[in-house]
Amino acid sequence: TSHFVALQIGVLLKGTCYLAEEIFHLQSRHHGSFWRALSACFPLHWYRPMLLICGSACAALLNGDGQPLALHLGLASLFQLFTLALGLH
């Protein structure tokens, strides 16, 4: 479950980085539409079910090893950022 949550956090972080870059190109690439840029960075046709599954995995972590959920999510986020920064993904 933790691994699945970490993978989904990685996808979220990667999409967020893409969105931060695409905001500078709203006029040239997306005709001024923020929603077009958002849908280019986060493919919503498959992302909604994955977000639901990820939420279920987070709920499962609450009953896991007694550690706070924020600790799990924080460490998974840092690991995914490190992986993206090194280009290992």
Asked whether 73 and 12 are in contact (CB, 8 A), the reply is: no
pLDDT per position as a tens digit, 14-61: 888 889 999 998 898 888 888 888 888 877 666 666 667 667 766 666
Entry pTM: 0.56
Count the neighbouring beta carbons within 10 Å of the beta carbon of residue 50: 15
